Structure 1
């Protein structure tokens, strides 16, 4: 039981109670994984954190992983589009991944359209796409020799 509360406390301290992790994965790309239940106020904080990090790191791509998001409402779905719009305006390409069938249904029902953005099935596909967009390849060490 102690271990579980310690993990929760660590997430709270790291994320400031915002259900998000973010890290630089290449010089051009950051990864942002959202998790849990999202609401409008948290989405505002997420938008600020992602855009600030993108600006500080001078990156050109952001992978936004929704694979661990439990639920969203129509307002939060709209905030995801706003996040994509803000990133595009500052020259950053968002790549959305991990959208479950339930999240997709919520977005479509709410009239939210991510059609202007790159969407892929999962994180593996998002990473592959980010490398493709930055003209990078992953090759095995056997291919280098």
Structure 2
């Protein structure tokens, strides 16, 4: 480590010459992810040379989370670590020629094994941490999307509005079904106002799934009011023989339903 510190500038220059693609991105990576690649390279080298595997793994896991959080390019990280490996071996060679410490091939191969094993431990720990943290971020985003796609809005202690906008496919209707029934139970809802004014198209299969949801809300003792049905959707429902009349009250607009319900309340 003393030799490497004494030759720190030469080490960095050689490392940057080895990492051709990464050296152009050093400032960008520092700006985006607050990752100082050169300082981190020296930290990694110290852990490798001192065979400090515990701290090396902690460092790798922290790096993995950072790169996952800021969506930094993995190919840059891989190129950087491989450049560090080559640079380290170059300076081992220089050090050996000044000190003449490696007396035989066995000693050399033992050194090679120890060094490369630690580099591989870093890479494995980094990628596992990156993958795990990325999965957590994706799951959190999926949960956020689910909540945003089924926005149940309380208007009174026993009444909620569910405004649906956009396209409803098999996946989304399943989320709607699960969340509606859960919220009826959790909030002890008596009335659910289902506003479909933001839905311009609906497949017959989705209509039938929606009827099942209305059956479920009724079974739980919750009244459903459907508002905002568009002419194109109504025509398709009539032709398919789908009817909400026995399962829910219908209103022309959400404003009318809210006005009627709030007056009653």
Instruction: Tell me by how many angstroms 1:13 deviates.
Output: 6.2
Instruction: Tell me by how many angstroms 1:70 deviates.
Output: 2.8
Aligned length: 124
Match of residue 31 from structure 1: 161
Query: Are 1:37 and 1:69, in contact at CA under 8 Å, matched by a contact in 2?
Result: yes
Q: Note if 1:21 corresponds to 2:21.
A: no
For the structure 1 residues 120 and 40, does the alpha-carbon distance in structure 2 shift closer, same or farther, using more than 3 Å as the test?
Answer: same
More strand by share: 1
Query: Are 2:193 and 2:257, in contact at CA under 8 Å, matched by a contact in 1?
Result: yes
Counterparts of 2:161 and 2:147, CA distance in 1: 18
Instruction: Tell me by how many angstroms 1:51 deviates.
Output: 1.1
Q: Please, which runs of 5 or more residues in structure 2 have no aligned partner?
A: 1-140
Larger Rg: 2
Instruction: Tell me by how many angstroms 1:55 deviates.
Output: 0.8
Q: Note if 1:84 corresponds to 2:176.
A: no
Q: Which among 109, 115, 133 is matched to residue 239 of structure 2? A: 109
Counterparts of 2:156 and 2:206, CA distance in 1: 28
Give the alignment of 1:1-145 within 5 angstroms.
14-16=144-146, 19-116=149-246, 117-132=248-263, 135-136=264-265
* CA deviation profile, 1:10-39 (whole Å, cap 9, x unmatched): x97633286332111101101101110111
Quick one: higher RCO (CA 8 Å, sep 6+), 1 or 2? 1
Query: Are 2:200 and 2:232, in contact at CA under 8 Å, matched by a contact in 1?
Result: no
Q: Please, which runs of 5 or more residues in structure 1 have no aligned partner?
A: 1-10, 137-145
TM-score when scaled to structure 2?
Answer: 0.44
Instruction: Tell me by how many angstroms 1:92 deviates.
Output: 0.2
Instruction: Tell me by how many angstroms 1:41 deviates.
Output: 2.6
More helix by share: 2
